[in-house]
């Protein structure tokens, strides 16, 4: 589904990002994963190599627009084009607002929103040069329903939805399609570490009767990245088993 496409996936060293790397590779894309640290990037590349999947990786500072631009320039020079960007890098939060400092709130917004803006802004000239592309953003079910604490996280994901819908309209003429995937409760390392007495009540809130797997989300990204979704832009695709929180 992605043969001859070049895809960049941020937050690609673990969880949903790493699984999306796998799925894109299985569908013949050239994949470049981004991570926050050299050691995590190298570890992910080594793990994928053991699985027979060859990928390249970088660890640019997503707070540094110039550094992002330099890395994208290298990628475009090597591969000749950049077709897909998956903005998956992000951090969560669960503190009550009384316990959250301004600096902590700003850090969440900077990683979850401002870094996404920087990556998107930096990649547009390359997609424009090659007459189009696809930008996909990781949102969350809490962007729709909120959450009981950790206000910075749902605030950031509400912003992701706004960025997605607005840029879908702004970039359509290039054409660049812009969509988001809003995962629900997904079986990542963080969720897997939770005790049964916490997980079981969560599962009871999900009509499909199970928590999601990272591949469920990766498959949604695959669909939206592919030509099968050629008339879809500005969508926020929920992958949550119809959960309501």
Number of domains in the chain: 1
Instruction: For the chain, give the percent of residues with pLDDT over 70.
Output: 98
- Strand 236-239, strand 176-183: pairing: parallel
> Residue 179: which of 238, 233, 115 has the closest Cα?
233
74 domain residue, yes or no: yes
Instruction: Name the active-site residue from 58, 59, 126, 153.
Output: 153
Q: Is 156 a domain residue? A: yes
Judge whether 59 counts as a catalytic residue: no
Tens of pLDDT, residues 58-115: 999 999 999 999 999 999 999 999 999 999 999 998 899 999 999 999 999 999 999 9
Could you give the C-alpha distances from 47 to 73, 104, 149, 205, in angstroms and in order?
Answer: 26, 32, 35, 34
- Give me the domain span that covers residue 168: 6-231
Mean pLDDT, residues 114-121: 98
Give pLDDT tens digits for 12-63.
999 999 999 999 999 999 999 999 999 999 999 999 999 999 999 999 999 9
- Domain CATH code at residue 210: 3.40.50.720
């Amino acid at each position: 589904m992605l043969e001859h496409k070049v895809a960049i996936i941020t937050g690609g060293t673990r969880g949903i990002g790493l699984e999306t790397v796998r799925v894109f590779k299985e569908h013949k894309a050239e994949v470049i994963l981004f991570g926050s640290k050299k050691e995590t990037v190298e570890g992910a590349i080594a793990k994928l190599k053991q699985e027979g999947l060859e990928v390249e990786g970088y660890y640019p500072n997503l707070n540094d627009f110039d550094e992002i631009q330099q890395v994208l320039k290298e990628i475009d020079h090597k591969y000749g084009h950049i077709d897909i960007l998956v903005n998956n890098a992000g951090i969560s939060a669960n503190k009550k607002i009384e316990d959250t400092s301004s600096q902590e709130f700003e850090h969440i917004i900077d990683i979850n929103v401002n870094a996404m803006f920087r990556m998107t802004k930096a990649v547009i000239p390359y997609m424009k040069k090659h007459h189009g592309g696809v930008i996909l953003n990781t949102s969350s079910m809490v962007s729709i329903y909120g959450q009981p604490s950790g206000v910075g996280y749902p605030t950031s994901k509400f912003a992701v939805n706004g960025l997605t819908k607005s840029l879908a309209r702004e970039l359509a003429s290039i054409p660049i399609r812009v969509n988001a995937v809003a995962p629900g409760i997904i079986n990542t390392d963080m969720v897997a570490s939770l005790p049964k007495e916490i997980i079981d009540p969560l599962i009871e809130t999900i009509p499909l009767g199970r928590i999601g797997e990272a591949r469920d989300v990766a498959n949604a990204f695959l669909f939206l990245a592919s030509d099968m979704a050629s008339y879809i832009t500005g969508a926020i695709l929920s992958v949550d088993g119809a959960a309501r929180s």
